[in-house]
Copies of this chain bind each other. A is one copy, B any other.
Amino acid sequence: MGTPLPRDPIADAQRNWERHGWGNVAAPMAAITAIMRTQQILLARIEGALKPFGLTFARYELLALLSFARSGALPMSKASALLQVHPTSVTNAVDRLEKAGLVIRSPHPTDGRTTLIELTTEGRTVAKRATAVLNTEVFSQSGFADGEVDQLIRILGDFRRQAGDFSD
């Protein structure tokens, strides 16, 4: 976050790894570090685009997920599984979205253990607007070429499957 560095710090780290006898894992280390940094940059852009809506990325993701659910409602546990975050993170996000009037909690009709998260009318509107802004301000100007996008989707998709994200 400030001025650009004169040299790529990750490439430097890779050289350091090689110099200290870890040449065999220097490249994967650099790739992984680059993923961490890229995520950080992208997250900052996303949060910047969502700020006017009073949303964070975590809350937006939940809102978007609900807006794609046919009934506009989902059990907390389902949301946790689909977003692949800890249940307590969902609790946290729902608390804040509920306070903002974008969702409401309601009891599950047949399972007393389950709480449903339901989109309010305003929640649906905000989700739609935020999606439009995110698409035009972030996703449409990602900085990745079409071919790179395809490669990323394939490489990271394989990785995620192998990591146990999905069995597909």
Residues of chain A having any CB pair with chain B under 8 Å: 1-2, 4-11, 13, 16, 20, 22, 24-25, 27-32, 34-43, 46, 64, 68, 80-86, 131, 135, 138-140, 142-144, 146, 148-153, 155-157, 159-168
Contacts and interface: CB of A to CB of B under 8 A. Distances in A.
Contact of A24 (B5, B36, B140): B140
B156 A34 contact: yes
B25 A140 contact: yes
For the complex of A and B, 10 pairs with smallest distance between CB atoms: A39-B39, A34-B156, A25-B139, A31-B152, A28-B142, A5-B166, A4-B167, A29-B139, A31-B149, A8-B166
Integer count of this chain's copies in the complex: 2
Given A10-B157, A25-B139, A84 B34 contact: no
Nearest to A146: B27
B155 A152 contact: yes
A8 B156 contact: no
Nearest to A44: B163
A4 B30 CA distance: 28
A81 B7 CA distance: 12
A81 B5 contact: yes
Contacts of A157: 8, 10-11, 34
